[in-house]
Every structure is written in C-alpha cells, then in structure tokens.
C-alpha cells in the first residue's frame, strides 16, 4: 500500500521558488568582476533565473544539454545555477585554474553547448575557443558597456542582452527528480579529469542533510559568505542551502586576498563563511598584521584539506570564531563528515575538545562509511587502527560521466557497493573519522589538485632523467606542494634549474614542482611500482626543513 501524501518531486528549482516566496527580500550581495558591489534580492534572482531559462530555450537548449561556466562566485553564476538546472539542462561548472588543455578536454568530453564566462577568463576562452568542438556560443557574463571589443571569438554573446531580451514569465518544468542537474569534473584521480554528474534528487537530499544543526547549522538568521568557489562542487552546496533556509548570501567574486575578504566580511556583517585552509591563512595574516578583529563572524567552515590545530586555536582563542572542520569529496556532493560535538564532548576540558575538533568529523546523514584492511575486511572503530576509507549514500557517485573504464565502486563480502575514497583514516568509538594518509597519487595544493603522474611523465621525457617520482611534500602556505625525486642517467649532468625549466609551457605554471631532490635510487615494490609512502616518509618534510632533509638524502 502506498502512502497518501502529495507527490512533489525533489527539484532544484523548488529552492529558488521557496526563497522568492518566503524570503523574497533577503539580500544577495556580490563583489563584481567589474569592481563594484552589486546588491539585489532572492526575488530579483528568481526573476532573472526565469529570464535566463527563457533565453536558453530561445538559443535552442534542450533538456540534458550541458551548459558550461567559467565563473567566480557571484549573482550571475547563481542565476545560472537555477536557470540552467531548473529548465532541465545540466550546469557544468568548469575549474578555471586548470591548464587550458584540460579545460578544452573537459568542455569537449562534456559536449558543452554554450559556455558562460566572467571577463577575467577571456584570455582562457580565447585560448580554448577554437578547440571546443561542440560549443555554439560563448557568453560574457557582463553588460554591453563592458563587452570586449577585440575578443576575436566567433559567436560571442552578452549575458545582460540575453536577460533583457527575455520574458520573466516561465513555469519551471516538473522534471524526473533522478534527472541530471549539475556536472563537476574532479582532477583528484589519476588520468584525465572525471565528471561527477549530480541529480536533482541527490542535490536536494544533500542540501537537507548539510543544513541540519549537527551539520552546517544554517538558518534564516545567517549571513553566509562562501569563499569556496562555485566551480568546486557547487561551493559545498551553500548556494542551495542559502535558498532552502533563506540566509543572506555574500559573494566575494575574484577578490580572495585577506584584505578584500575582511572588508566584505565586515561590511556585510557575515556570520558564517567557508573555505580551504590556504584562504584562511591569508585572512588570518591580514587581521594579525592590522590588529583587527571580526565583529560579526561567529563560525567558519574549513575543509578541502586538513585544518591544523594551530589554525583551529587561532580562530577560536584569538578571534572567538568557532571552527567547523569538514571532510568531503567532489564524488560526495561533497559533504562526508562534519566535526560537531556529541553531548558527552560538551563537558570535556578544552584541550580534549581540541583533539576531537581536529578530526574530520562524523558522518552526515545519508553517508555511511567504513575503514577496511588490504583484505577488504572492516577494521575496528578504535581511533587507532587505520585503513582505506569507503563510503556509500544517496549523494555519492555511482559512476563517472561517460566513463570508459571499470566501475569506480568496490563490492564487499556482503555484496554491498562502496566508493573507495583514496583516503586512509581511523574512526573512533564515537564515529569520528580522522584522515591519516592518502593512497591516491595526487597532490593537493591550496585546495586544487596536481597530478603527480603528469609531472613524472614530463620529467621522464627529459633525456638526462632515468627515473622520477613526484610526491606531495608538506608546505606551510599551500598545505602540499609537488616535490620531484629524480635519478639521473649515468654520466648525465642535470641541474635542478634545468629540469624545472623543462616544465615551462607544458603545464599550468603553478603545477611546477617546488624543488628537485637527486637520489641514487628510488624504492620499488615487488611489482616494480614506486613505493611512494617510503618517499613521503623520507622527503615529506623537505619543503619545511630543506637543510635537514638534504642531509638525510
């Protein structure tokens, strides 16, 4: 027997409809690429999202067509979040920090029909336009007055023209809630970037779960500033959460330095913000240097990389800002765990609570997790035994978009499907997970991935290199940076500078390894694979204390 309740599909458009009807005059404030501050309301956003849906229909966009964006956090990007997904097309947020070859690869792999871009990314668009085979037009997210005159791009359209020419009368279609809504490629895997294709249902369930009190605890009384980009897993879902709860949204645009962020946080009386540790380091340095403090910010969400105990203490003890440590992945929509206390932790002495807070946290509703050993058997939740971290849930990836390889899932002894995260972790008796290592062969620098295999392949192409391995070395500012370990060919004469110069033009500049260590041999396992964990143990601190490690080397 079925229940007798109304059948209302879980659709992303329902979020902006709700925000308009119940929080219509709540503000959305954006620092624009044009330099000024833009201010409007959820009601305005909904009207313009409907105009954009009409504009896309006029351009011939059909359900399931992919629409790319190369854009900062701002109100026009938000309109596309709702206009594109709401009409049944798929919003494909592209990471503009990737090398132009990867951007072209991703746009072609996704078969993007249109690409919207902020003016900052005009040089990137110019570089890739000729290679994006399926794109019918590029749309500059600006008004006529700011349109580039000498872009040299065929089919360049103006965002504000599209809005102006379109009616605001539009009824959001009732889609299948399992229909795809959003596409986001991750470089946090080996090989080419892989597309994670979210559905309306998975996004809505993620939004409900992430907003809960023991998760991000969001409400209509909150002013939220997502520093985490809207091209990184939908800014961790905050643009959806803000609509669901009616929170004021503040978008920083391209200005992510400490001074600009601080000014915006204060001017808009932001209460909650979210970002990777590197961004917060910039902000903390700014307030320390200027002797300022936060007048309104009560909480900050830190994730994407581990939040250090030092940062935790600085925020909480010096500035009275509570830290919420989170762990997630593009493949998880992204929230996996959030570090909020259980009742028994509240009475704990502060020092013990810090130890708990440094962990990545406990599972958000909808995510199940376990740690397993090499034999695939589950390991105990004792806070000491570490194993490969597996997850499953209604907002967890099942397969990558148009993937040609094997399924990414593992089947356990009970026939259950799990997604292997590539992280190595412990779980304690209270269910708090702590990342202890990473088995995947990638480097995370300032919240962005760098593929170690690409860097090794380039080094190996140098005629004087016999063997090369690239590892994630700890870095004070960027969390991790690539360090190259190299065995020279016999009699070959190769310097660090020559090898680093060899990378020029082959990769995005910020991917270039920070340093090169020359060794006599690189440790190999039984199957001939490089033993990266041994190298990480030996050289992981190289960039922190180069002199000491050099002696070891």
Q: Which two tokens stand for residue 52?
A: 């954009």
Out of 306, 312, 468, 483, the residue judged to bind ligand AMP by CB under 6 A: 306
Torsion sign, CA atoms 366, 228, 103, 166: positive
Q: Which of 186, 271, 340, 512 is catalytic?
A: 186
- 30 vs 445, which CB is nearer to ligand AMP? 445
Cβ at position 229, least distance to ligand AMP in Å: 11
Out of 391, 435, 468, 472, the residue judged to bind ligand AMP by CB under 6 A: 435
Any alpha helices (H) in 233-335, and if so which ranges? 233-236, 238-245, 258-267, 277-290, 309-313, 319
- Between CA 437 and CA 446, with CA 443 as vertex, the angle to 5 degrees is 105
Q: Which of 172, 449, 478, 511 is catalytic?
A: 449
- 435 vs 530, which CB is nearer to ligand AMP? 435
- 165 vs 403, which CB is nearer to ligand AMP? 403
The contact mask relative to ligand AMP for 57-86 (x = CB under 6 A, - = no) is: ------------------------------
CA distance linking residue 357 with residue 433, whole number of Å: 11
Annotated active-site residue 186? The verdict is yes
DSSP 530: B
Contact 517, 485 (CB under 8 A): yes
* Residue whose Cβ sits closest to ligand AMP: 330
- How many angstroms from the chain centroid is the CA of residue 335? 11
Asked if 26 interacts with ligand AMP (CB under 6 A), we say no
Which CB contacts under 8 angstroms, 24+ apart, belong to 402-405? 402/109, 402/195, 403/194
Asked if 438 interacts with ligand AMP (CB under 6 A), we say yes
Q: Which of 426, 444, 511, 532 is catalytic?
A: 444
Asked if 387 interacts with ligand AMP (CB under 6 A), we say no
Asked if 532 interacts with ligand AMP (CB under 6 A), we say no
Q: Any residues with CB less than 8 A from the CB of 537 and at least 6 apart, and which?
A: none
Annotated active-site residue 149? The verdict is no
- 30 vs 281, which CB is nearer to ligand AMP? 281
Sheet of 156-158: strands edge to edge? Answer: 156-158, 137-140, 112-117, 66-70, 90-93, 180-186, 194-199
- 97 vs 200, which CB is nearer to ligand AMP? 97
Could you give the count of Cα atoms lying within 13 Å of 322 in the half-sphere of its Cβ? Answer: 12
Annotated active-site residue 529? The verdict is no
Annotated active-site residue 480? The verdict is no
- Between CA 305 and CA 532, with CA 279 as vertex, the angle to 5 degrees is 30
Contact 277, 304 (CB under 8 A): yes
Asked if 304 interacts with ligand AMP (CB under 6 A), we say yes
The H or E element spanning position 107 is helix 100-110
Stretch that binds ligand AMP, among 164-172, 341-349, 406-414, 421-429 (CB under 6 A): 421-429
Stretch that binds ligand AMP, among 102-110, 162-170, 320-328, 491-499 (CB under 6 A): 320-328
- 188 vs 387, which CB is nearer to ligand AMP? 188
Q: Which two tokens stand for residue 507?
A: 């990769």
Out of 51, 113, 333, 421, the residue judged to bind ligand AMP by CB under 6 A: 421
Please report, as ranges, the residues that interact with ligand AMP according to CB under 6 A.
186, 188, 233, 303-306, 325-330, 334, 360, 421-423, 435, 438, 444
Which active-site residues does the annotation give? Answer: 186, 331, 444, 449
């Amino acid at each position: 027997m079925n229940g007798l309740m109304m059948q209302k599909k879980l659709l992303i458009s329902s979020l902006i409809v709700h925000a308009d009807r119940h929080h219509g005059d709540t503000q959305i404030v954006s620092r624009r690429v044009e330099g000024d501050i833009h201010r409007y309301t959820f009601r305005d956003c909904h009207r313009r999202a409907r105009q954009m849906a009409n504009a896309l229909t006029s351009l011939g966009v059909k359900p399931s067509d992919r629409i790319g964006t190369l854009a900062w956090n701002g109100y026009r990007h938000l309109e596309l979040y709702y206009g594109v997904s709401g009409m049944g097309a798929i919003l494909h947020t592209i990471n503009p920090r990737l090398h132009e070859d990867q951007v072209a690869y991703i746009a072609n792999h996704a078969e993007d029909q249109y690409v919207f871009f902020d003016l900052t990314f005009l040089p990137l668009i110019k570089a890739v336009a000729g290679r994006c085979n399926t794109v019918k037009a590029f749309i500059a997210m600006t008004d006529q007055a700011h349109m580039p005159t000498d872009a040299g791009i065929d089919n360049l359209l103006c965002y504000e023209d599209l809005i102006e020419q379109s009616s605001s009368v539009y009824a959001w279609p009732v889609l299948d809630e399992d229909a795809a809504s959003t596409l986001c490629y991750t470089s946090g895997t080996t090989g080419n970037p892989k597309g994670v294709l979210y559905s309306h249902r998975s996004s809505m369930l993620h939004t409900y779960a992430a907003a809960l009190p023991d998760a991000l605890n969001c409400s209509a009384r909150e002013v939220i500033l997502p520093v985490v980009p809207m091209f990184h897993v939908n800014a961790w879902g905050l643009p959806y959460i803000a609509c669901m709860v009616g929170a004021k949204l503040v978008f920083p645009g391209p200005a992510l330095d400490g001074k600009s962020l601080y000014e915006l946080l204060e001017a808009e009386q932001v209460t909650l913000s979210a970002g990777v540790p590197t961004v917060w380091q910039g902000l903390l340095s700014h307030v320390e240097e200027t002797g300022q403090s936060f007048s309104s910010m009560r909480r900050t969400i830190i994730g994407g990389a581990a939040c250090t105990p030092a940062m935790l203490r600085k925020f909480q003890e010096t500035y009275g800002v509570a830290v919420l440590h989170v762990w997630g992945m593009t493949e998880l929509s992204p929230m996996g765990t959030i570090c909020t206390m259980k009742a028994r932790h509240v009475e704990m002495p502060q020092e013990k609570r810090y130890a708990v807070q440094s962990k990545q946290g406990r599972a958000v509703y909808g995510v199940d997790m376990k740690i397993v050993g090499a034999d695939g058997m589950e390991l105990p939740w004792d806070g000491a035994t570490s194993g490969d971290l597996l997850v499953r849930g209604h907002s967890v990836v099942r397969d990558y978009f148009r993937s040609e390889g094997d399924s990414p899932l593992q089947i356990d002894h009970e026939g259950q499907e799990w997604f292997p995260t590539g992280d190595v972790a412990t779980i304690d008796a209270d269910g708090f997970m702590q990342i202890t290592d990473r088995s995947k062969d990638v480097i995370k620098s300032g919240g962005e991935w760098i593929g170690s295999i690409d860097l090794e392949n380039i080094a190996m192409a140098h005629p004087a290199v016999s063997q090369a391995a690239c590892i994630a070395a700890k870095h004070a500012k960027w969390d991790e940076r690539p360090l190259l370990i190299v065995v020279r060919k016999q009699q070959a004469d190769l310097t660090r500078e020559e090898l680093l110069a060899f990378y020029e033009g082959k990769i995005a500049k910020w991917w270039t390894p920070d340093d090169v260590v020359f060794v006599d041999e690189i440790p190999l396992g039984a199957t001939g694979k490089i033993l990266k964990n041994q190298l990480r143990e030996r050289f992981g601190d190289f960039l922190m204390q180069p002199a000491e490690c050099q002696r070891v080397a």
